[in-house]
């Protein structure tokens, strides 16, 4: 891993993955590793717990979430940050007709950071715009906005790729397959935005025609000289891939049973096709999974999605440390003294 970047800029809002440059990504990955190692030791865990006990976070999650909610909640707790939450919009004054802006402004009156997931695209950006106009703004973290973006997922995906390729020169030069519902899945859209930071990465987009990656993201890839090809079936490209990032069909957005017409065999990892993958390849998935990864694949050492899930909590600790500018003390902590 490259050396630390102590001068990397502090974070405020985390809305759009395009703002991250390579130095910030390397810095976040390094910080994530430090936190992960520190937390393994009782003394390190207590040190982390004592870092931000005076901070409060609002978890506003009005779209289903298991991992992102729990990992943010626990990331806050790792650092001593106290949390409050709204997970069901019917319990908020929005049902009385309060505007989205007024609700967000209200949350900001009580806490120091708002982590939010909403079913509508662009709402986290709207919340951040509002914060930039009020006297006591708090950072907004986009924890998934409609079909649009999921920046913290992309950051943990980068961390997982980086860790997986530690002995193989990192992410640079790798061939990465992105498979599944590339049209309606926000994780791939965010991950594509981060790819501009890595040299000579080639993307293979594997999706049914009706769920192909949207033109805006393809335009971004072209503008940033990231080569990509579209393929209709995994079988055609499997042996070439260094990583396969599998996603589920986002059936919650179906209007006329579109998911039902997908031939899953072309977009799935099974024990049978594992034999055609490189020995050094990695299989990732943002989860939850559907039939696109057979449970038997979990036992293969190339399946890293459970590690990826856990990395999510550590990366979110690192993001919170950066936001609250508490990363410096973590860097200064001598981890070797704990061993």
3-state secondary structure of 177: strand
Return the bridge partners of 179, or none.
Answer: 206, 246
Q: Which is nearer to ligand ASP, 22 or 120 (CB)?
A: 120
The answer to whether 189 contacts ligand ASP (rule: CB under 6 A) is no
Would you tell me how many other CB atoms lie within 10 Å of the CB of residue 206?
27
The residue at minimum Cβ distance from ligand ASP is 286
Instruction: Tally Cβ neighbours within 10 Å of residue 186.
Output: 22
**Is 67 designated active site?**
yes
Question: Is the distance from CB of 245 to CB of 176 less than 8 angstroms?
Answer: yes
Q: Is 117 a catalytic residue?
A: yes
Measured at the CA of 94, the angle between CA 92 and CA 100, to 5 degrees, comes to 115
Q: How far apart are CA 7 and CA 324, in angstroms?
A: 15
Residue number, 186 or 196, with CB nearest to ligand ASP: 186
Nearest residue to 195 via CA among 212, 175, 216: 175
Per-residue binding string, ligand ASP, 124-163, x by CB under 6 A, is --------------------x-----x-------------
Is residue 150 annotated as part of the catalytic site, yes or no? yes
- Considering the rule CB under 6 A, would residue 286 count as an interface residue with ligand ASP? yes
Judged by CB under 6 A, which stretch of 10-18, 104-112, 181-189, 294-302 contacts ligand ASP? 181-189
Q: Which is nearer to ligand ASP, 44 or 144 (CB)?
A: 144
* CB closer to ligand ASP out of 105 and 186: 186
Binding residues for ligand ASP, how many (CB under 6 A)? 8
Encode 234-257: b = buried (16+ Cβ within 10 Å), e = exposed: beebbeebbbbbbbbbbeeeeeee
Q: Is position 184 an interface residue for ligand ASP (rule: CB under 6 A)?
A: no
Q: Which residues bind ligand ASP (CB under 6 A)?
A: 144, 150, 185-187, 247-248, 286
**Residues with a known catalytic role:** 67-68, 96, 117, 150
């Amino acid at each position: 891993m490259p050396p630390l970047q102590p001068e990397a800029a502090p974070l405020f809002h985390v809305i759009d993955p395009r703002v991250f440059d390579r130095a910030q990504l390397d810095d976040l990955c390094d910080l994530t590793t430090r936190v992960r190692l520190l937390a393994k030791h009782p003394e390190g865990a207590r040190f982390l717990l004592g870092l931000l006990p005076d901070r409060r976070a609002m978890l506003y999650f009005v779209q289903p979430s298991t991992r992102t909610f729990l990992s943010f909640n626990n990331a806050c707790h790792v650092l001593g940050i106290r949390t409050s939450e709204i997970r069901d919009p019917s319990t908020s004054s929005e049902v009385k007709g309060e505007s989205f802006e007024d609700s967000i402004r209200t949350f900001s009156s009580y806490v120091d950071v708002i982590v939010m997931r909403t079913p509508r695209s662009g709402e986290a950006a709207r919340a951040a715009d509002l914060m930039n106009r009020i006297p006591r703004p708090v950072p907004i973290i986009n924890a998934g906005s409609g079909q649009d973006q999921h920046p913290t997922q992309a950051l943990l995906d980068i961390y997982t790729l980086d860790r997986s390729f530690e002995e193989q020169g990192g992410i640079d030069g790798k061939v990465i397959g992105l498979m599944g519902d590339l049209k309606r899945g926000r994780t791939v859209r965010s991950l594509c935005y981060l790819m501009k930071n890595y040299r000579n990465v080639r993307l293979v987009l594997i999706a049914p025609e009706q769920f192909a990656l949207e033109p805006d993201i393809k335009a971004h890839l072209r503008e940033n000289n990231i080569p990509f090809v579209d393929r209709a079936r995994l079988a055609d490209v499997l042996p070439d891939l260094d990583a396969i990032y599998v996603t589920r069909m986002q059936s919650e957005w179906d209007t006329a049973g579109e998911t039902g017409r997908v031939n899953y065999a072309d977009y799935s990892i099974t024990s049978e096709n594992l034999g055609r993958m490189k020995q050094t390849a990695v299989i990732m998935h943002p989860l939850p999974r559907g039939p696109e990864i057979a449970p038997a694949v979990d036992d293969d050492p190339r399946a890293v999605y459970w590690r990826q899930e856990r990395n999510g909590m550590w990366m979110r600790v690192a993001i919170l440390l950066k936001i609250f500018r508490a990363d410096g003390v973590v860097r200064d902590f001598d981890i070797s003294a704990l061993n």
